[in-house]
Structure 1
Amino acid sequence: MKDIFYEKNKITTLRVIFLVLFLACCILTVVSCKPTTEFEIVSAEGYLNDYYEYSDESECTITAEFNESVDEGSITVTFYDEDGNISDKQTKDFTSWDVNDKTVEITFSNVKGRPASYEVTDFTVEPPPSLVSILISEFIVWLILFIITVSPFAMSCEIYDFNGNAITVYSGWFSCYVKVNGITVDKKSSILRNFFFGRIFPMHLSTTLPDGVFLLVKINFFNGIKMWLNGCVYNKKYIKQK
C-alpha cells in the first residue's frame, strides 16, 4: 500500500516552504529599508583634472565617502585660490551612476580660476525608500507573492477510515481525487475551478466501494471536504499507526 499520508505531508511541506520564502522576502525588504540615523562625509579627496588658461576655468573631480550607502543627492563644494579667497562655489547633483556603495565621485566643470584647495560645505542625501512606499510601488509583485504563499493553505486533504479502508480525499491546485487504500477511484481536474471562478459550484466525486457502499464527496468553495456513505455523513478519520 502506498503512503496514505503522502498528500497531507505534501501540503504541509509546501505550506512551510512557501511561508519561509515569503517571510525571508519580508525580512530582506525591511532590512533594505532600514533608515540611517544621519549621513556624514567620512573623507573627501579633490583633483584638478585640467586648467583652461584661455578661459581661466578648471575641471575638478571630488570624491567623497559617506558613512552609509547612498543612492542620490547633491554636494556643494567651495573652491579657494592660492590666497585662500573663494574663487567659486558649485552645487552638483549625483545619481546612482555616480555612486559606488558609500563613495560618490563628481566632476565639476567650469570652475572659475585655478583652485588651490577646496571644501565640501554642504550636501543632501535622499533618504532611503520607506517600507510603505516600496509596498505601494510594487503592489502587484507583492500581491502575486502573497497569493502564491497562501495558495498551499487553500489545498486540503482528509483521510477517512471505513471498515479498515483508508479513504483519501484530496483537493489541490490542478486536480481533486478520491483514493481507496492508495488507489485512485475518481479524479477531476481543478484548474478551471481554481482559476476561473469555478469555486462557486461545489465539486462532486463519487465511487462505489467493493462492499457496495456508495461514496459521495463534496468539496465546497473554501475547499472544505464532506463525505457521505449511502447518503449519511461520515466523519471517522484515519489515524496513523505507530
Structure 2
Amino acid sequence: MTFDHTRADHTWIDHTWIDHSRAHHSRAHVSRAEFPLAEVSGTDQNVNQNDGTDELRIDQFDAGLAGRACRLDRAGARTRTLHVRRWRADAGRSDRWLLDGCRGPTVDLGCGPGRLVRALSERGVPALGVDSSALAVQLCARRGAVALRRNLFEALPGEGRWHHALLADGNVGIGGDPVTLLSRVRRLLDPRGSVLVELATEPGLWCGPARVVQPGGTTGTWFPWAVVGVDAIGDVASAAGLRLCRVRNRRRAFAELRPAG
C-alpha cells in the first residue's frame, strides 16, 4: 500500500485509486470496482454492506448518530454520556493527538459520521472509515469521507498493510471483549503499524451488557460492551499481542499501541 504525495486528491487503498476530488462532493460515489473484494456490494455513495450480526448495536447507536442526546447505561456501573455532538462535528482540537499520530494509510474502525476520516484526507493521509451502521456510512458520504459498511471482524481492504488503525470515541468497547478486538485490529496492521485508541478517564476495565438510553428514557436492547481505563490498557494490549508505547491522559485519554516482538 503506497501513497503518491504528488497526487493529493487520490488515495491508493488495496490496489485501488480512491478519487478524493469526487469524494468531497455531496454525492460521493465509491463503486464496486473501487473496492475489488468479491464480498463487497453497493454502488450508491460509499460502499454499504453488513452481514446483520451487529443489527442490535446499529439500531442503538443510530439515535446518537442522528443527533439525539443519548447516554450509555451499563449493568452494575455508572452511566456514561455519549458525546454525539463530537461525533457529528468536524474534527476539533481534542482530536489532534489522534490525527497527528497518523502519517500513513489509516483505517478508522467505528468511524461514525467520518470526522476523523475527512480530517485525515484533508491532511493528505489516505484514510478509510469502517462502520456497521448504514446511517454512519451515509453521513460519511455527505461530508466526503470514504467509508465501508462492514462488521470489522469480517474481511476488510488492506488486511495486514494498514500503517495505523483508529479506535476513537470508546470504540475499544466494541463487542465487549477488548482483547479479542485488539487482536483483530493487530492483524489489520503492517508489522510496523500502530493502533491509536481512546480510553476512559475512569480507572479499570469494565465488560458487560450495556444499552443506549435516548431522551425521554427510551431504552434499547442490551448488547455486549467494554470500557477500558488508562491503567488497564497495558495488560489488555499485552494479552492481544500489542505493546503500550505512549499514553496521553488529559480531558480525553489516548494510547498508542504497536505489535509486540
User: Shorter-normalised TM-score: what interval?
Assistant: under 0.3
Q: Name the TM-score, length of structure 2 as normaliser.
A: 0.21
Question: 1 or 2 for the larger relative contact order (CA 8 Å, sep ≥6)?
Answer: 2
Question: Which structure has greater strand proportion?
Answer: 1
Q: Name the TM-score, length of structure 1 as normaliser.
A: 0.22
